[in-house]
Amino acid sequence: MTAVVDRRLVVQTWLGTRLLLLVVACLVMVVDQRTPADCLANWDVQHFFAIAERGYTEDSLTAFFPGWPLMLRGLAALGVPLLVGGCALAAVGSALAAAALYRLGGPGAAIVWLLAPTAVFTLVPYTESVFCAAAFWAWERASARHWGQAAALAAVAASVRVSGLFLVGALLILALTQRGDGQAPMPWRSKLAHAAWLLLPAGVLFAYAAFLHLRTGSWLAWYQAQSSGWVRGFTWPWDSFWHTLDPMTPGAYPEHPEWSWVFRAEMLSMAVGVVVTVACLVRRRLAEASWVGVQVLAFSLSYWFFSVNRAVLLWFPLWTWLGGALNQRPGGGGSARPGAGGRAKGGLAVAAAAVALAVQALWAWLFYTGRWAS
């Protein structure tokens, strides 16, 4: 019965957050007289749609991996409008990602992920939902030692965004450190066999790099597109830190007052990534530490801390960690009714959820109104 209640709560949270995000979108459409496309197809969505419709017509577009535009193009070939198809895929992907987190960390992990501040990116046609669904399930399958399935899912993730490279690296560490049944040492022959499966997603990454080389003559075409189009050229971490401090100052960009606190959130997200990485290392979970830590390092090498708020959605160790506290039931010891401590904890959880939903709605408003939302 408990498992049924837990699954029902996860489904209710998924439905509730999707409804909240749609209600905010409708309010913006009515108040600001914006169309659905004006609200849901801002920022990178336009680039994804351009690739889906016309391919890589500009070098700057090669900063985006082809998997997501190809999915959109496939639905468009069936007569589904890009916006409708993208939102539908994002909704399905968010449900699958939550289901994977349920398997990895219990209902609490799925719930806190669905309540994440930047959840709007799991509703609009961005890559986060599909990537998280593929990556989280790849990790779940690898943890269960089903490496063929894990590799296939990781290949899907690798086709969608460059984070697939970090996923392959983390899965490789998992393969080489994984223990057998009963925590007995696993023979190296088995470890190497598991690691060999990762040639599949690695091949997807190489295929895109080779495509760009044929198109541009450079093996660094993806990095060059990121550097020239999105200010992601190599910067030392300490310089990136100082560059991020400037826009955090209130009034630094009077025409964009929201930028200061979004950049503060970027700084906070980086700090969260460092804490999660250290926590994983302390717990000797090297693969999870590499998954988060390498991403934090990569973000620290850009001109400033940029798009980290969205990347937090990918850090499943964070969500399983937070969810672990939520999974603990009040009034342990077989008590049918929670005590005062249990009721206090429940009240705190409800208050935290209310705050999370408010921040989620505010972040959705940023995106829907065309403001920078990371």
pLDDT at site 27? 97
pLDDT at residue 335 above 70?
Answer: no
Contact 316, 104 (CB under 8 A): yes
pLDDT at residue 327 above 80?
Answer: no
Tokens of 30: 């009515």
Planar angle of CA 70, 72, 76, nearest 5 degrees: 110
In total, the chain counts a number of residues equal to 374
pLDDT at site 17? 97
pLDDT at residue 332 above 90?
Answer: no
Contact 120, 367 (CB under 8 A): yes
Confidence of residue 344 (pLDDT cuts 50, 70, 90): low
330 within domain boundaries: no
335 within domain boundaries: no
Tokens of 34: 């914006």
Contact 94, 129 (CB under 8 A): yes
**Sequence-ordered list of residues with C-beta below 8 angstroms from that of 180, at least 6 positions apart, any chain:** 186, 187, 190
Share of the chain above pLDDT 70, in %: 94
Domain count, the chain: 1
370 within domain boundaries: no
41 within domain boundaries: yes
127 within domain boundaries: yes
Least confident of 2-16, 158-172, 350-364: 2-16
Query: Domain of 53?
Result: 2-322
Task: Label each residue of the chain as H, E or C.
Answer: CHHHHHHHHHHHHHHHHHHHHHHHHHHHHHHHCCCHHHHHCCCHHHHHHHHHHHCCCCHHHHHCCCHHHHHHHHHHHCCCCHHHHHHHHHHHHHHHHHHHHHHHHHHHHHHHHHCCCCHHHHCCCCCHHHHHHHHHHHHHHHHCCCHHHHHHHHHHHHHHCCHHHHHHHHHHHHHHHCCCHHHCCCCHHHHHHHHHCCHHHHHHHHHHHHHHHHHHCCCCHHHHHHHHHHCCCCCCHHHHHHHHHHHHCCCCCCCCCHHHHHHHHHHHHHHHHHHHHHHHHHCCCHHHHHHHHHHHHHHHCCCCCCCHHHHHHHCHHHHHHHHHHHHCCCCCCCCCCCCHHHHHHHHHHHHHHHHHHHHHHHHHHHHHCCCCCC
56 within domain boundaries: yes
Planar angle of CA 65, 24, 313, nearest 5 degrees: 40
pLDDT at residue 39 above 80?
Answer: yes
pLDDT at residue 169 above 60?
Answer: yes
252 within domain boundaries: yes
pLDDT at site 333? 44
347 within domain boundaries: no
pTM over 0.85: yes
pLDDT in tens, 186-203: 888 999 999 999 999 999
Longest Cα–Cα distance in the chain: 68
Please state, in angstroms and rounded to a whole number, the distance separating the CA atoms of residues 125 and 10. 22
The answer to whether the Cα torsion of 280, 283, 284, 285 is positive or negative is negative
pLDDT at site 170? 98
Tokens of 243: 């560059």
The CA-to-CA distance between both ends of the chain, in Å, stands at: 41
Please state, in angstroms and rounded to a whole number, the distance separating the CA atoms of residues 184 and 265. 43
If you average pLDDT over every residue of the chain, what do you get? 92
Place of tokens 């709007």: 120
Please state, in angstroms and rounded to a whole number, the distance separating the CA atoms of residues 159 and 162. 8
pLDDT at site 182? 67
